[in-house]
Amino acid sequence: MPATMQGETQPTVYRFKFGNFEVSTILDSKGIRDGLHPLYGANAPAAEVQALARENNIDPNRLEHPNIPTLVNTGKELILFDTGNGFLPRDYEALKTRMPMGNLAARLAQLGHKPEDVDVVVLTHGHPDHIGGLMDGDRPIYPNARYVFGAAEYDFWKKNEGVREARVFNQKLFMKICEPLAPRSSFIKPGDTVASGITAVDAFGHAPGLMAFHIESEGKRLMITADTFTQYVMAVQRPDWYFDMDDDKEKAVATRKRMLDMLAAERIFVASFHMPFPGLGWIDKTASGYRWVPHSYQLNL
C-alpha cells in the first residue's frame, strides 16, 4: 500500500519567558522569491553573491522570506510589534501575486489570545508587510488597541515628499490604512518608551523612520530589529551590500553596520522579522565580519 504524501509542516508560533515578560514570535506568512541578485548585492557582482550563498549552504538563486511579528506580554499589557500582510493580497490586485495572505490574527489563537486582547500595536515602519494586518476593509483588526508610530516614519508618508517611484503605491496604501488610526495613535522618536522596559531605537534607512525596539526585563536584553536585517546571510555577513527594498541604501548600510557592532559587542538577543522562523538568535563577531547564530535551546532552560 503506497504511503500518501501529506505536505510540509513547520512551527508557526514560539513563546518563551524573558525576565518578567513573555515574548512570542509568530509566523504571519512566508514567500519564496527567485533571484538573490540583484535583490541583494546590486552593488556587487552576481557571482560574488551566489558564491556567498553556496558557502552558507543556501540556494544561490532562491530564498525563503518569512514575516515574523513579535508579541510582548509585560504582565500589564499585550504589545504587538507589526501586523504582517493581513488581507492585502485579497484586497489589492497589485499585491495578489507579490505576497501571501497573512495569518497573524488566526495564529494569535494558538497562543491563547484574541485580537481584542491586544492593548498596543507598534508599527516599526510603514511597508506593506508590516501594516497590512491592521485593517479588514474599514474595520480595525485590533479594535481595543492604541497604536504607536515612529513620528519620522509617519510624517514621511503623510507629507509624500521624496517618495521613490517604487514606493508610490506604498504611500497611498499607508495613508488609506494608517491615517484613520491617527486619533488613537501616539508618535514617538528614538529614545522614547512604549512601556516600562521597551525603548525605541533609531534604525533609519530601510525605511525613512524605521525603528528597532530594545526590550529589557530583569537584566535580560532583547532587540526587535524589524527590517534592519532582511536575510540571515546576505544582510549580516555583507552589510555593505545593497538590499533593493531599502529606501535609503547608504543609510541602511550604515545602520546595519552600527547595529551589528552593538548587538555583537553587547551580546543582545535578537528577534528579527525576516530571519528563519522563529526569527531568534544572536550576532557573533567573526574574523571577517559577522554571522547570525540562531537560537537553539537557550530560551527553553
- Residue spans per domain, the chain: 13-300
- Give the integer Cα–Cα distance in Å for 151 and 186: 8
Question: Which stretches of the chain drop beneath a pLDDT of 70?
Answer: none
Residue pair 248/227 in contact (Cβ under 8 Å)? The answer is: no
Cis check: omega of the bond before 278, within 30 degrees of 0: yes
Residue pair 25/277 in contact (Cβ under 8 Å)? The answer is: yes
**Reduced 3-state DSSP string for 63-106:** EEEEECCEEEECCCCEEEECCCCCCHHHHCHHHCCCCCCCCHHH
Give the pairing type, strands 269-272 and 220-226.
parallel
Please list, in sequence order, all residues whose beta carbon lies within 8 angstroms of the beta carbon of residue 163, skipping any fewer than 6 positions away: 156, 157, 170, 171
- Give the integer Cα–Cα distance in Å for 110 and 127: 26
CATH of domain 13-300: 3.60.15.10
- pLDDT at position 24 is 98
Nearest to 131 by CA among 111, 113, 147: 147
Nearest to 26 by CA among 65, 64, 81, 74: 81
H or E, element range at 235:
helix 234-237
- pLDDT at position 127 is 98
- Give the integer Cα–Cα distance in Å for 31 and 23: 24
pLDDT in tens, 44-86: 999 999 999 999 999 999 999 999 999 999 999 999 999 999 9
Name the residue with cell 530560551: 299
- pLDDT at position 95 is 93
Q: In this structure, what is the dihedral angle of CA atoms 123, 193, 245, 33, given to the nearest 10 degrees?
A: -60
